Amino acid sequence: MKKTAIVFLLGLAASICACNRHQESIIGIWIVDKINVQFDEKHNTPELVKQIGEMERQNSFCINSDSVLVFKGLDFEWQDRISLNNDGTLTCDGKSFGIWKDGQIVTQTWSPLGDVVVTYRKK
């Protein structure tokens, strides 16, 4: 019985340390690395797609050590508490913000025009 409890506690401690290490990895300033605008070309002009890409390129965000994300766009700013789930999903206020994977954060925005997938890298 004691051995089982010790193994359980060691496993729990290891998983807590792993979560903290991952949490520390997302702390910092994030800037746009890649943009993939997936709009229906039959209903949108290349100029619109280019303009959307240029607007997205202005985005950046900072994740502070107290788990607050401060997002800065072209003409707006917002902040919220962020959490990193075990599967790499980042959530703000219970809603998915993006996915943290391989040292990058990928966000996806859906709109009636199409999807915009933005990959961020740490500055």
Which residues are paired to 92 by β-bridges? 82, 95
pTM, full prediction: 0.77
pLDDT band at 67 (very low <50, low <70, confident <90, very high): very high
Please report, rounded to a whole number, the percentage of residues in the chain having pLDDT higher than 90. 64
Pick the CATH number of 2-122 from 2.60.40, 2.40.30, 2.40.128, 1.20.120: 2.40.128
Do the bridges between strand 28-39 and strand 104-111 make them parallel or antiparallel, or are there none, so unpaired? Answer: unpaired
Quick check: 81 and 90 in contact, CB under 8 A?
A: no
Identify the CA nearest to 115 among candidates 31, 27, 49: 49
